[in-house]
Structure 1
Amino acid sequence: MNRRVLVCQNTSCRKYGAAQVLKAFQQAKVAAERSGCLGQCGNGPMVIVLPEAIWYDRVQPRQVPIIVEQHLQQGAPVQPWLYQKFHAV
Structure 2
Amino acid sequence: MNQPITQEILVCQNRTCRRQGSEKILKVLAGCDLPGVRVVGCGCLGHCGSGPMVLILPELLWYEGVTLGGIQAIILIVGRRPSIVSTG
TM-score grouping bracket, smaller chain normalisation: 0.7 to 0.9
- Residues 1:73 and 2:79 are matched in the alignment: yes
Aligned to 2:18: 14
Which blocks of at least 5 consecutive residues in structure 1 are unaligned? Answer: 81-88
Gaps of at least 5 residues in structure 2 are none
Q: Structure 1 stretches (4+) deviating beyond 3 angstroms?
A: none
Judge conservation of contact 1:6–1:34 (CA < 8 Å) in 2. Answer: yes
CA RMSD of aligned residues (A): 1.8
* Aligned residue pair count: 80
1:11-68 CA distance string (max 9 Å, x none): 0000000001101111112421000011110000000000011100000122112211
SS in structure 2 opposite 1:67? helix
Q: Amino acid of the residue matched to residue 48 of structure 1?
A: L
- Report whether the alignment pairs 1:63 with 2:87: no
Q: Distance in 1 between matches of 2:24 and 2:65?
A: 12
TM-score of the superposed pair, with normalisation by structure 1: 0.80
Q: Which residue of 2 aligns with 1:34?
A: 41
Q: CA deviation at 1:78?
A: 5.3
Larger Rg: 2
The one-letter code of the counterpart of 1:33 is V
The structure with the largest helix share of the pair is 1
